[in-house]
Structure 1
Amino acid sequence: MRFIWQYLRHYKKEIALIILGTLGFVAVTLGLPTLLAEMIDKAILPQNTSLLWRYAAWMLALSILGLLGRTLTTYMASRTVNDMTMQIRNDTYTKMQQLSHHEFQEFGVPSLTTRITTDAFMILQFTEMMLRQGTAAPLMILISIFMIWKTSPSLGLFVLPVAPIIFLFVMLIARITLPISERQQRNLDKINRILRESITGLRVLRAFNREPFQHGRFQEVNAAYRKTTSQLFKLMAITPAVFSLLLNIVIIVILWFGAGYIQQGNLQVGTLVAFIEYVFHALYSLTLFANIFMMYPRATVSAKRLQEVLDVPISVQNPDQPVTETQEIGSLEFRDVDFAYPDASEPVLRNISFKTRPGETTAFIGSTGSGKSTIVKLIPRFYDVTKGQILVDGVDVRDYDLKTLRSKIGFTPQKALLFTGDISENLRYGKFDATEADMDRATDISQAREFIERLDTKYRTEIAEGGTNLSGGQRQRLSIARSIIKGREIYIFDDSFSALDYKTDAAVRQSLREETKDASTIIVAQRVGTIMHADQIIVLDKGEIAAQGTHQELLRTSDIYYEIASSQLSKEELALE
Structure 2
Amino acid sequence: MKLMLKYLKRYPKLILLNILGIFSFVAVQLGIPTVMAWMIDNGIGNSDIAYIKKMGGIMLIVCVLGGAGTILLTYASSRISTNMIRDIRNDVFIQSQNFSHTEYNKFGVSSMITRTTNDAFQLMLFSNMLFRTALLAPVMIFISVFMTIKTSVSLSLVIGGSFPFIVAGVIIIAKLTNPLSKKQQKGMDQLNRISRENLTGVRVIRAFRKSEYESERFAETNDNYASNSKKLFKIMSFTQPAFFFLLHLAMMAVFWISSLMIDKGTLQVGQLVAFLEYQFHAMFSIMLFSMVFVMYPRAQVSANRIQELLDEEPLVKTPTNGITAENKGVVEFDHVTFQYPDGELPVIKDVSFTANKGETVAFIGSTGSGKSTLINLIPRFYDVTSGSIKIDGVDTQNYDLKALRQKIGFIPQKAFLFKGTIEDNLRFGNPNATPEEINHAIEVAQAKEFIENKPKKLQEYISEGAKNVSGGQKQRISIARALVRKPEIYIFDDSFSALDYKTDATLRAALKKETKESIVFIVAQRISTIMNADKIIVLNEGEVVGMGTHKELLKSCNIYYEIADSQLTKEELER
Report the TM-score range of the alignment, normalised by the length of the smaller protein: over 0.9
**Residue number in structure 1 paired with 2:464:** 465
CA–CA separation in structure 2 for the residues paired with 1:39 and 1:415: 79
CA–CA separation in structure 1 for the residues paired with 2:260 and 2:137: 31
Q: Could you list the per-position Cα deviations for residues 88-140 of structure 1 after superposition, in whole angstroms to 9, with x for gaps in the alignment?
A: 00000000000000000000000000000001111111011101111111001
The code of the aligned residue for 2:343 comes to: A
The 3-state SS of whatever aligns with 2:334 is strand
The code of the aligned residue for 1:416 comes to: A
**Residue number in structure 1 paired with 2:100:** 100
The code of the aligned residue for 1:301 comes to: V
CA–CA separation in structure 2 for the residues paired with 1:239 and 1:335: 66
The code of the aligned residue for 1:398 comes to: Q
Q: Could you list the per-position Cα deviations for residues 67-86 of structure 1 after superposition, in whole angstroms to 9, with x for gaps in the alignment?
A: 11111011011111111111
Q: C-alpha displacement at 1:560, in angstroms?
A: 0.4
Bigger mean CA offset, 508-517 vs 158-167: 158-167
Kept in 2, the 8 Å contact 1:528–1:568? The answer is: yes
Kept in 2, the 8 Å contact 1:100–1:316? The answer is: yes
**Residue number in structure 2 paired with 1:556:** 555
**Residue number in structure 2 paired with 1:14:** 14
**Residue number in structure 2 paired with 1:442:** 441
**Residue number in structure 2 paired with 1:235:** 235
Kept in 2, the 8 Å contact 1:371–1:540? The answer is: yes
**Residue number in structure 2 paired with 1:481:** 480
5+ long unaligned stretches in structure 1: none
**Residue number in structure 2 paired with 1:424:** 423
> What are the within-5 Å matches in structure 2 for residues 3-402 of structure 1?
3-326=3-326, 328-402=327-401
Identical columns (%)? 50
Q: C-alpha displacement at 1:381, in angstroms?
A: 0.4
The code of the aligned residue for 2:394 comes to: V
Aligned length: 575
The code of the aligned residue for 2:13 comes to: K
The code of the aligned residue for 1:545 comes to: V
- State the TM-score, normalized to the length of structure 1: 0.99
Whether 2:532 is the aligned partner of 1:500: answer no
Q: C-alpha displacement at 1:329, in angstroms?
A: 2.5
**Residue number in structure 2 paired with 1:456:** 455
Kept in 2, the 8 Å contact 1:329–1:489? The answer is: no
CA–CA separation in structure 2 for the residues paired with 1:295 and 1:108: 27
The code of the aligned residue for 2:478 comes to: S
CA–CA separation in structure 2 for the residues paired with 1:563 and 1:165: 81
Q: C-alpha displacement at 1:493, in angstroms?
A: 0.3
Q: C-alpha displacement at 1:435, in angstroms?
A: 2.0
Q: C-alpha displacement at 1:47, in angstroms?
A: 2.2
Q: Could you list the per-position Cα deviations for residues 197-241 of structure 1 after superposition, in whole angstroms to 9, with x for gaps in the alignment?
A: 000000000000000001111001100110111111111210000
The 3-state SS of whatever aligns with 1:15 is helix
Q: C-alpha displacement at 1:420, in angstroms?
A: 0.6
CA–CA separation in structure 1 for the residues paired with 2:291 and 2:92: 28
Q: Could you list the per-position Cα deviations for residues 310-332 of structure 1 after superposition, in whole angstroms to 9, with x for gaps in the alignment?
A: 00011000112211122x42211
- State the TM-score, normalized to the length of structure 2: 0.99
CA–CA separation in structure 2 for the residues paired with 1:334 and 1:560: 22
The 3-state SS of whatever aligns with 1:513 is helix
CA–CA separation in structure 2 for the residues paired with 1:487 and 1:160: 76
The code of the aligned residue for 1:253 comes to: A
Q: Could you list the per-position Cα deviations for residues 254-287 of structure 1 after superposition, in whole angstroms to 9, with x for gaps in the alignment?
A: 0111011101111100001111111000000001
Q: C-alpha displacement at 1:447, in angstroms?
A: 0.4
CA–CA separation in structure 2 for the residues paired with 1:551 and 1:460: 42
The code of the aligned residue for 1:304 comes to: N
The 3-state SS of whatever aligns with 2:509 is helix
**Residue number in structure 2 paired with 1:568:** 567
CA–CA separation in structure 1 for the residues paired with 2:47 and 2:206: 83
Bigger mean CA offset, 341-350 vs 316-325: 316-325
Question: Residues 329 and 466 from structure 1, CA distance in 2 versus in 1: closer, same or farther, beyond 3 angstroms?
Answer: farther
Q: RMSD across aligned C-alpha pairs, in angstroms?
A: 0.8
Q: C-alpha displacement at 1:57, in angstroms?
A: 1.0
**Residue number in structure 2 paired with 1:524:** 523
CA–CA separation in structure 1 for the residues paired with 2:564 and 2:36: 97
The 3-state SS of whatever aligns with 2:298 is helix
CA–CA separation in structure 2 for the residues paired with 1:279 and 1:10: 37
Kept in 2, the 8 Å contact 1:473–1:499? The answer is: yes
Q: C-alpha displacement at 1:563, in angstroms?
A: 0.5
Q: C-alpha displacement at 1:575, in angstroms?
A: 1.9
Kept in 2, the 8 Å contact 1:148–1:275? The answer is: yes
5+ long unaligned stretches in structure 2: none
The 3-state SS of whatever aligns with 2:485 is coil
CA–CA separation in structure 1 for the residues paired with 2:510 and 2:411: 16
The 3-state SS of whatever aligns with 1:485 is helix
